[in-house]
A and B are shown apart, each in its own frame.
Chain A
């Protein structure tokens, strides 16, 4: 044990020596993959299911009801409306590139897209269905029966329905954003302001959390690192507790999954509580509560412009 620790510290020291030279090695944001290898038959079923309101108890809402292609795969409403007319606890995150998130939901309670589907279908506010009923409804459809039996050895099952939808969602990637083209070497893809915005984005520390291929979506962070975001909140909801709901750990209070900033220009309103209706408002909130810094308005505007370059090619025949 002691030796392990000693080795570890030695390693820290060694790595630290090389840290300075390595910083400029590469960009913290990576371009999105252009292809996703999914079974076309399953994707086709998943696409149909994604738009099928039969997944909800009363046939009133489908996945697409809240994950709207016109709004970057998210909901333009602050809170989505479930099958029974009730509002959801949080603002619907985008389905685009969701496959690249390390966990699903704002509080990361679902480890996979399949688990996310499972939770939403059974959520008493969102779809309110029992799987047995859903499967019965789907099995009654000759098309589904035929396509499932083609795509899955065991036909229509709960796991296969979830997998089909997840397979479809894994194809909902938005590659070739201008910023990705820039990352791939196309200097002309960004305007000077946008390049400046990217520099500010890194310089002010946004990049500390919004990094990786998905520009976020690969870690958790407390909402309100430098100041108490919830200080002036009149009524705290369970959703505001973040990961605490999942882990019960005091340290996880108000900790949320860092959302991806891909297509962020399309997915207003922002934050789990939809408290920011514009991108610049959201950037202001981030500066105040997450970075604990003040910045000139032009820097923030440049950052907002940069964020606009993260909008990629939306899936053609999607949603």
Chain B
């Protein structure tokens, strides 16, 4: 569908490009057919023809003696020459189909004009001479007549000469009007006859006769020449040449006009085709515009629906998020509760132990013996002294009483001690609860404590279980001064770790359990100095794939564990600015937890305060 449309558009574009190209071509072609050249050439030809005619007229005027100088002829000649040259140049640049013929025609016209010019030049020369002689001939005849008249007194024979001269003069006059060869021969013969009689004349008369004869000869010589020249001039095919060029130009113009008409038709066809194409494209455009509008509207609707849905979804999401938040809060609260319960549970162990001890002590109290002794005394109240001194039983009674008293006081001491421990454990529970109430752990109470004391407390809190499982414990925290510590956090961590280690011993049968508690200071510099506490056991160890998850909340390997202890330890360590790490060589190879916390001696603290 898409490809087809693209194809359609492509072909349309192609067609329009082709049409435009044809249009351009036709335009160029019609541009090439410039009419002005034709009209200029025709005008040039007309001028040429006019000038040529005027030149012929000027020639005739000169012949007739109407024009007394040749200036007009000369001016027209130069003008004519210029026009002819222009025409040749104009037609030379013309390169149409009629080009060669036109070239030929214009060149032959030019040479005809030049030939005419040449003839006219000759005409001018000969005409001048002829006219001069013709004008002078009557005078010359008169000169001869005068000479013969003067001579007439001497000889009668000469008398007819004047008549002959007059006859010749008349003959020449008529010859000049209508020249023909026979007249010319006759005149020449007459002049010849006259010349033969010159010896009879005086010297002046002979000279006059010679002059007359020479001018008659000149007329006889020049007249046919001039006539011939005039005839030649009239037949030089200048006007024919002009007409020929005119016809050629007209023919070509007709062809050009024909082609112009053709061109116009082509132009119209192409323009119509282009207009049709344009119309088609227009309708296509309008149609596609409508389509676009429709699709646009649909899109708008869909958009509005989408927006509505987005609002709804957003609301749903915010509700869900609220629920999630509540759940998370609940989960957090549960976690906290778990944490508290776990830690409290740990301590409750020792509370239980202490309570059990106290109750067993009270149950097994030596108080009964004292009660029996008092009853014995009561039964002998009458004779108390005698009883005490004489009676077998009474005699041992004082001693017994003192032993009971001693035993009771020892008992009381034990119970007091145990109650002390109980109180401490309860205190710890109180602290745990207080700590957990602080929740974030950011509230920490830092106090001075000795690590060895903390070790002892922690062990004691687990003492019951440890003794039950017969776990051996070694402790070393030598050389570590009292430090500023978050005592309860550290204690919580230690209790947890010891409890873990103790649990790790449960499945181990082949060896007696052993826990090592170790503390030492690492790092040279004061700033980098840290306390490293390690809790090592030889219990079941941790599989390598569990190591990475050991501190993750909810991760446990025990059946009844909740995966909370180590997680809370890690958080507590972090709260103290320390780290808790684990290492195990694998299953059944024991485990080491290492806690590193910043070393803050009491001295340092003071220095820091001053600083």
Spell out A's residues near B (CB within 8 Å): 1, 4-5, 8, 11-12, 15-16, 18-19, 22-23, 25-30, 102, 111, 205, 207-209, 211-214, 218-222, 225-226, 247, 251, 255, 291-294
Contact = CB atoms under 8 A, between A and B. Distances in A.
A30 B132 contact: no
A14 to B, nearest CB: 9
Interface string B37-71: 00000000000000000001100110111101111
Interface size class of B (residues with CB under 8 A): 35 or more
A211 B70 contact: yes
Given A211-B69, A219-B125, A5 B211 contact: no
B234 interface: yes
B97 interface: no
Given A5-B235, A292-B215, A207 B68 contact: yes
Nearest to A222: B125
A4 B235 contact: yes
Contacts of A225: 129, 218
A29 B71 CA distance: 10
B207 interface: yes
Contact of A15 (B61, B78, B132, B239): B61
Nearest to A2: B235
A8 B74 contact: no
B239 to A, nearest CB: 7
Contact of B218 (A26, A247, A292): A292
A236 B239 CA distance: 42
Contacts of B81: 111
B124 interface: yes
A22 B62 CA distance: 12
A111 B132 CA distance: 28
Nearest to A6: B234
Q: Which of B69, B124, B131, B214 has the most CB atoms of chain A within a 10 A radius of its CB?
A: B69
A25 B61 CA distance: 13
Interface of B: 56-57, 60-61, 63-66, 68-71, 73-74, 77-78, 81, 118, 121-122, 124-125, 128-129, 131-133, 135-136, 140, 207, 211, 214-215, 218, 230-231, 234-235, 239
Contacts of B77: 102
A242 B63 CA distance: 25
A225 B234 CA distance: 26
Contacts of A218: 69-71, 73-74
A19 B57 CA distance: 14
B126 to A, nearest CB: 9
B124 A219 contact: yes
B69 A294 contact: no
Contacts of B78: 102
Contact of B69 (A5, A28, A293): A28
A1 B241 CA distance: 12
A8 B71 contact: no
Contacts of B129: 208, 221, 225
B128 A5 contact: no
A221 B211 contact: no
Contacts of A251: 122
A211 B230 CA distance: 21
B64 A208 contact: no
Contacts of A255: 125
A111 B81 CA distance: 11
Nearest 9 CB-CB pairs, A to B? A28-B68, A211-B69, A205-B132, A208-B128, A212-B71, A212-B69, A8-B234, A219-B124, A102-B74
A102 B235 CA distance: 25
Nearest to A28: B68
A294 B211 contact: yes
B136 A293 contact: yes
Contact of B234 (A4, A22, A28, A214): A4
A205 B139 CA distance: 12
11 contacts: A12-B60, A16-B64, A205-B132, A207-B68, A211-B69, A211-B70, A211-B71, A219-B125, A225-B218, A251-B122, A293-B211
Given A16-B64, A212-B71, A219-B121, 5 more contacts: A5-B234, A212-B70, A214-B71, A219-B125, A220-B121
A16 B63 CA distance: 9
A111 B73 CA distance: 15
A255 B230 CA distance: 20
B12 to A, nearest CB: 52
Nearest to B210: A292
B105 to A, nearest CB: 18
Contacts of A226: 214-215, 218
B70 A219 contact: yes
Nearest to B240: A1
A247 B211 CA distance: 32
Nearest to A227: B214
Contact of B71 (A12, A209, A213, A220): A213
Contact of B64 (A12, A30, A102): A12
Contacts of A111: 81
A8 B56 contact: yes
B128 A209 contact: yes
A38 to B, nearest CB: 17
Contacts of A23: 65-66, 68
B239 A4 contact: yes
Nearest to B65: A19
A253 to B, nearest CB: 12
A16 B62 CA distance: 11
B128 A219 contact: yes
Contacts of B235: 1, 4-5
A42 to B, nearest CB: 20
Q: Which of A1, A218, A220 has the most CB atoms of chain B within a 10 A radius of its CB?
A: A218
Contacts of B218: 225-226, 292
A46 B132 CA distance: 41
A272 B237 CA distance: 36
Contacts of B56: 8
A15 B125 contact: no
B125 A11 contact: no
Contacts of A19: 64-66
A226 B128 CA distance: 12
Contact of A29 (B69, B128, B140): B69
Given A205-B136, A225-B129, A293-B211, A220 B66 contact: no
B63 to A, nearest CB: 7
B187 to A, nearest CB: 17
A251 B231 CA distance: 18
